[in-house]
Amino acid sequence: MTKAEKVQFVIDTLNNLYPTIPVPLDHKDPYTLLIAVLMSAQSTDVRVNQITPLLFERADNPYDMVKLSVEEIREIIKPVGLSPMKAKGIYGLSKILIEKHNGQVPASFEDLEALPAVGHKTASVVMSQAFGIPAFPVDTHIHRLMYRWGLSNGKNVEQTEKDAKRLFPRELWNDLHLQIIWYGREYSPARGWNLEKDIITKTIGRKSVLDAYNKKTSR
């Protein structure tokens, strides 16, 4: 297969598997999505979705959030991990949203990435899922699969994002990054990987990846 044929195979397979695409993190607006994404760092979406209702019951907008102390926020979100850093970020960005953005989440990479605890990936998720602006946030699943599929060199997530944006049509980015995440979780996980179920990697996978898998399973 040519690289273009591989890309089309990925698109067609994912569209067939995921014609409708659920958003992993529960939210009701750009602010609650921003907070949920911030909380998801080094945690799981399942755990975050268990904790955000407890936080949003107390504060689901920046004005109510800054009425809580950093310590109160930390106590609520402690189960998601890294709670001291995340609590400071949540409080700090809420304060800035009030002071600089009239309490609204800005639809701009520059403004989002200027907020405390908001990096490029978090900003990309918000731009894509809250505002529908094309972005390609790269998580561990996308980084792993782009390498397994021979579509990126696996050097770092920045390179993976550049390669994904170069290879896939811009109008598909917002759906495609979610489809790849779901596919990675269900069919091509880092652990407990069964190549027979992973039709995309089995069909277009990098030779070194397939050889390593076959060598490991033949022991």
Task: Identify the active-site residue in 86, 121, 163, 198.
Answer: 121
**12 in active site:** no
Task: Identify the active-site residue in 26, 45, 111, 139.
Answer: 139
The alpha carbon of residue 199 and the mean position of all alpha carbons in its chain are separated, in whole angstroms, by 23
Beta carbons within 8 Å of 74's beta carbon, 6+ residues apart: 83, 84, 86, 87
CA-based radius of gyration for the chain: 19
**139 in active site:** yes
The shares of helix, strand and coil residues in the chain, as percent rounded to the nearest 5, are 65, 0, 35
Tokens of 156: 């770092």
Return d(Cα 119, Cα 85) in angstroms, integer: 13
Return d(Cα 156, Cα 36) in angstroms, integer: 24
Beta carbons within 8 Å of 157's beta carbon, 6+ residues apart: 121, 138, 143
The alpha carbon of residue 6 and the mean position of all alpha carbons in its chain are separated, in whole angstroms, by 23
* Residues annotated catalytic, as ranges: 121, 139
